[in-house]
Amino acid sequence: MSNAEKRRARKESQDSGAAILHLNRIKPATNAIFNVLFVILSFICIFPVFYVIMISVSSEESIRLNGYALWPETFSSSAYMFLWNERGTIFQALLVSIAVTVIGTVLGVLLTTSMGYVLSRPQYRLRGFFNWVVFIPMIFNGGMVANYVVMVNMLHLNDTIWSLILPLAVSSFNVIICKTFFRTTIPDSIIESAKIDGATQLTIFGRIVIPISKPVFATIGLFLTFGYWNDWFQSSLYINRSDLVSLQALLNNMMKNLDYIANNPSAGLSLQQYRNSMPSESVRMAIAVVIVVPIACAYPFFQKYFISGLTIGAVKG
């Protein structure tokens, strides 16, 4: 190729690159609109949390006179003092929630990712059958009665911590996410090379697949963590022992008791006096803050891999 042809090819390449950059360039006005939009969306997300915190530190008298206010007329810590006075019960429930969340998340991640990896391998003979086994529960559900019969009458797991863990450990949606990730991300050539070297499937999964699959592990882990931490239904359904009640179920029961006391003035003089002495409205908001803050503090540790897990495969180059 002559020098003139080389210069012509270089110029065409530069012109093509400049054209692509011009097409991908965001105009200043559009960029400003996007910035304003993101600021508005961030405000919409942050404002309710700030509003709840402000109500939780409002005095009951201020709420009674002025209603819910963004900036209370009188601040008070009585709601958190009320929860602190119940710290023995709340701390026990907190330990149960932490144990259920940690054990359930670890177990759920291992089960979900291993199932997704197996279903992603085209050489697996029963892949088609088990794909239907995983997919059908996304459309049809046995219902609460069937779940209760299996958990209580067949497995006898009521009033055990496993009744809070096992029902939420695996979901079809998470399995399909893992299957798609492994199918599109893990090259078959790596698996075949490991097999040639004599590695077993368990060795391949533990030493090759897991180290390069941190995004999907973090994504599934975050889903499971949120699910276990926010769950109160399993506890109310299967648990009768007070020492195994989760934090969310306990606080939900506390809110119900507040409603009961407020709506039954004939429940007894001492009970009604107790109702008048406690900050019912601000306690509701303080309960919400107690539930939200721990999981909000855990999110930043997952954020990097969570975003990678959501966007992996979205851009191909």
* DSSP result, 13-46: HHHHHHHHHHHHPPPHHHHHHHHHHHHHHHHHHH
Length of the chain: 317
* pLDDT at residue number 100: 92
Report the alpha-carbon distance of residue 216 to residue 231 in Å, rounded.
22
Cβ atoms within 10 Å, residue 147: 15
* pLDDT at residue number 216: 86
Residues of the chain scoring pLDDT < 50 = 265-271, 313-317
CA dihedral 93, 99, 100, 101 (to 10 degrees): 110
> How many C-alpha atoms does 285 have within 13 Å on its Cβ side?
23
> How many C-alpha atoms does 207 have within 13 Å on its Cβ side?
10
* pLDDT at residue number 89: 78
SS3 category, 63: helix
Q: How buried is residue 101: exposed, middle or buried, by Cβ count under 10 Å (0-12/13-18/19+)? A: buried
**Structural tokens at position 54:** 């402000």
Residue type, 284: R
Note the pTM of the prediction, 2 decimals. 0.72
SS3 category, 58: strand
At the topology level of CATH, where does 79-311 sit? MetI-like fold (1.10.3720)
Distances 112 to 129, 170, 314, 315 between C-alpha atoms, Å: 17, 6, 22, 25
User: Which DSSP category does 313 fall into?
Assistant: T
* pLDDT at residue number 3: 63
Cβ atoms within 10 Å, residue 72: 18
Residue type, 282: S
Phi, psi of 108 (to 5 degrees): -65, -40
* pLDDT at residue number 103: 94
Residue type, 273: Q
Report the alpha-carbon distance of residue 59 to residue 77 in Å, rounded.
8
* pLDDT at residue number 137: 83
